[in-house]
Amino acid sequence: MSMADVTAAPSEPDSEQRTLRVAVVGAGFMGQVHAEAARRAGASVVAAVASRPEGAAAAARAVGAEEGYPDLTTLLGDAEIDVLHVCTPNASHVPTAAAALAAGVHVVCEKPLATNSADARTLVEAAGGRVATVPFVYRFHPMVRELRARLAAGEAGVLASVTGGYLQDWLSRPSDDDWRVDAALGGPSRAFADIGSHWCDLFEFVTGDRIARLSARTAVVHERIRGDGRATEDLAAVHFTTAAGMVGTLVVSQVAAGRKNRLHLELSGTDASFGFDQEDPERLWVGRREGGQTLLRDPATLHPSAARYVRLPAGHAQGYQDCFDAFVADTYRAVRGADVPDGLPTFADGLRAVRITETVLASAATDGAWTEVPG
């Protein structure tokens, strides 16, 4: 990765251009996050689709849309929209996104893009010239961009290893339940597809390196049998090596009591090491033999590629919704015809995440055998 890759900034959209008309499919938590980000990016949320036809009006109220539609076919046939946000259960991502792309609509699709790599690859091909993005939004923390810029400048020296994890506790009790535990709706992987994919995307994004081989173990802590009777994993532990020779360890868990949304990674280099924790996103730790320091999110001191994502003065905390807002704003810049913003996660990145997830499951099924990750 060159510094040119890191510093490239998109052209700002013409303020006189028409307001984008967007629709949201799925009115739960993620649908509401998408809709709020769309409004903050200057779009008009004109339509919403619920999981059941009788829920159309409620879906519109939940996301603040002008009108609710009973199904996607009616929406695509009757409403004039520019962008469709897909926020439905995982198994419905492919038909929903494919229908929108076929109708000439740009698409933002929640991850996992698909529950298998063949379907994800089909969506990549179907996107054609349309903007098609996946919300790997942790890329949009300013301190993540600062980390990426410093690594690209060679500050770490030789990157030798990475350790990290993504820990949550929302399924730590046997009585905890959600549609995601049903493999028919969520797919063959739960914890890794849901949150491990975020960690892997973030690691590959900041380093410009790629996970090449891995050995994985998964575990089901609570038997939650739904649908076809398959239980998806509560946690995964992964050892891996990268194309550049780094060694990594990763633990992903949705049964880690007391941890709400802790995505963290520490990259160890011969000259400097760096640590980032998503639950403390205003800071980036830098360690050297002479001592360590903590860098703060301050636009006066950040690299330009990081400073462009600063929305508030130093000392006024930015968080998850700010990242989502930045992701959606960059997606809409691309839709409006500006240069594709640097670091915008596309369907190709979604396909990459599905391939890593499949490799984790394949390795775990063979008692942790080292397995190559497809390119």
CA distance 350 to 353: 5
Query: Which CA distances in Å does 219 have to 73, 127, 168, 222, 243?
Result: 40, 35, 15, 9, 27
CA distance 46 to 56: 13
pLDDT of 83: 98
Q: Which residues of 94-118 are buried (b: 16+ CB within 10 A; e: fewer)?
A: bebbbbbbeeebbbbbbbbbbbbbe
Q: Which CATH superfamily is domain 139-316+347-365 in?
A: Dihydrodipicolinate Reductase; domain 2 (3.30.360.10)
Spatial strand order in the sheet of 106-109: 67-69, 44-49, 21-25, 83-86, 106-109, 132-133
Cα 125 from chain centroid (whole Å): 20
Range(s) within the chain of domains with CATH label 3.40.50.720: 3-133
pLDDT of 223: 87
64's torsion region: left (phi>0), alpha (psi -120 to 50) or beta? left
CA distance 326 to 59: 24
pLDDT of 225: 74
pLDDT of 52: 84
Q: Given 3.30.200.20, 3.40.50.1010, 1.10.287.990, 3.40.50.720, which CATH number is that of 3-133?
A: 3.40.50.720
Residue 186 burial (10 A CB sphere; 0-12, 13-18, 19+): buried
Residue 32 CB neighbour total at 10 angstroms: 16
**Token code pair at residue 152:** 């690209």
Range(s) within the chain of domains with CATH label 3.30.360.10: 139-316+347-365
Query: Which CA distances in Å does 92 have to 78, 86, 111, 196?
Result: 21, 9, 11, 20
Low-confidence ranges of the chain (pLDDT < 70): 1-16, 227-229
**Token code pair at residue 247:** 């060694």
Residue 161 CB neighbour total at 10 angstroms: 14
Indicate the pTM of the whole model.
0.93
**Cβ–Cβ < 8 Å for 82, 328:** no
List CB contacts of 304: < 8 A, sequence separation 6 or more. 7, 9
**Cβ–Cβ < 8 Å for 234, 221:** yes
CA distance 79 to 22: 10
Query: Which CA distances in Å does 371 have to 74, 349, 368?
Result: 44, 20, 8
**Cβ–Cβ < 8 Å for 35, 328:** no
pLDDT digit string (tens) for 97-149? 999 999 999 999 999 999 999 999 999 999 999 999 999 999 999 999 999 99
Q: For helices 117-127 and 93-102, what crossing angle results, to 10°?
A: 20
pLDDT of 16: 41
**Intra-chain end-to-end CA distance of the chain, in Å:** 17
CA distance 292 to 282: 17
pLDDT digit string (tens) for 223-281? 887 766 688 999 999 999 999 999 999 999 999 999 999 999 999 999 999 999 999 99
